[in-house]
């Protein structure tokens, strides 16, 4: 079996490390030639939750130079949501009619990207609450245990046997469970509700996830979540407010030392996924004339941090 991981950020490196321990041919596709060369020379190092270091070798290829590749049986797409349009032609080129394609992005926007694929019915959304931190181009730290759900998207179907057998083989080497989800759209909104709180708040405050468990953030979290639930309801997805709050706190507890992906992006002077998270909620709210003051505030403040980064970078 041939497996590709497109994107070598924190989640991409975490899963590449795991996959490389299986008896399959794994290829990591990187955005830069520099990271490709680093992986070829040093492999991937992953620090697990128990502190154990796993070091594995893996094939690598820069996204801009894939002429030597052939098609893959399973493709993990772990780039950011806003990067999806840039890799869909690549996914099309190196998949065959039976390829299983898994999208691992935060937020909403998958359906538009999937719509660019032709004759590729087996597409899935994978949602995870695991935490990971990329220390370098080859070094990742698993910072928080969580859960992972995978469901066919945009059409509700059953997993294909190839993916089912693959997950059964993968499950014993990871701590967190992987579950088949028949209502993945609702799961996407549930995770969106979690991300819409944790990502922008930790980014604005520049703190690890666990800091949001302090009582002074209780009211803010409840207000943000209430807005998300109201918007979700208007688009046909029922979210339970209390259950969502409980989930947000659970993720903060399980990933207490983790820096959210959005905060990592800001610290690395990269574009964030704010458009696909709070920005997506804002767009739905506008469409249905729903006031979402707290999401507007979070969106504005994170965009201000992005703009500040751009100004600082241009000065350098």
Question: Hey, what are 75's tokens?
Answer: 């493709």
Check 80, 186, 191, 246 and give the catalytic one.
191
| 48 contact partners, CB below 8 Å, separation of at least 6 | 54, 142, 175
Q: Check if the beta carbon of residue 194 is closer than 8 Å to that of residue 209.
A: no
> Dihedrals φ, ψ of 140, to 5°?
-130, 145
DSSP H helical segments within 255-292, as ranges?
A: 261-267, 278-287
Which residue, among 26, 41, 268, 33, has the nearest Cα to 138 in the 3D structure?
41
Q: What is the DSSP string of 144-205?
A: E---EEEEE-SS--PPPHHHHHHHHHHGGG-SS-EEE-S-HHHHHHHHHHHHHHHHHHHHHH
Map tokens 């046997």 to a residue: 161
d(CA 302, CA 261): 13
Residues 6+ apart with CB under 8 A from 264: 10, 133, 134
Count CA atoms within 13 Å of residue 76 on its CB side.
28
Q: Which of the 8 DSSP states describes residue 123?
A: E
Known catalytic residue at 191 = yes
Catalytic residue positions, numbered: 191
């Amino acid at each position: 079996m041939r497996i590709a991981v497109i994107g070598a950020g924190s989640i991409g490196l975490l899963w590449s490390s795991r996959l490389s321990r299986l008896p399959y041919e794994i290829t990591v596709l990187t955005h830069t030639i520099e990271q490709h060369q680093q992986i070829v020379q040093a492999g991937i190092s992953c620090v697990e939750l128990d502190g154990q270091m796993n070091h594995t070798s893996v094939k690598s290829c820069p996204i801009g130079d894939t002429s030597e590749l052939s098609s893959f049986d399973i493709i993990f797409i772990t780039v950011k949501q806003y990067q999806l349009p840039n890799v869909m032609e690549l996914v099309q080129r190196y998949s065959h009619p039976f390829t299983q394609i898994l999208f691992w992005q935060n937020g909403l926007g998958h359906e538009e990207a999937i719509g660019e694929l032709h004759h590729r019915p087996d597409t899935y959304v994978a949602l995870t609450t695991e935490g990971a931190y990329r220390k370098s181009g080859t070094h990742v730290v698993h910072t928080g245990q969580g859960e992972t759900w995978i469901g066919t998207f945009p059409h509700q179907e059953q997993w294909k046997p190839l993916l089912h057998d693959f997950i059964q083989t993968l499950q014993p080497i990871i701590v967190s469970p992987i579950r088949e989800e028949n209502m993945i759209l609702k799961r996407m909104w549930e995770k969106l509700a979690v991300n819409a709180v944790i990502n922008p708040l930790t980014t604005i405050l520049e703190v690890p996830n666990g800091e949001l468990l302090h009582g002074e953030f209780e009211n803010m979290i409840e207000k943000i979540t209430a807005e998300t639930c109201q918007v979700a309801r208007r688009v046909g997805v029922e979210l339970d407010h209390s259950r969502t709050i409980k989930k947000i706190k659970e993720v903060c507890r399980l990933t207490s030392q983790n820096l959210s992906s959005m905060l990592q992006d800001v610290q690395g002077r990269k574009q964030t996924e704010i458009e696909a998270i709070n920005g997506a909620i804002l767009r739905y709210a506008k469409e249905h004339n729903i006031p979402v003051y707290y999401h507007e505030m979070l969106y504005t403040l994170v965009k201000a941090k992005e703009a500040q980064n751009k100004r600082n970078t241009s000065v350098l």
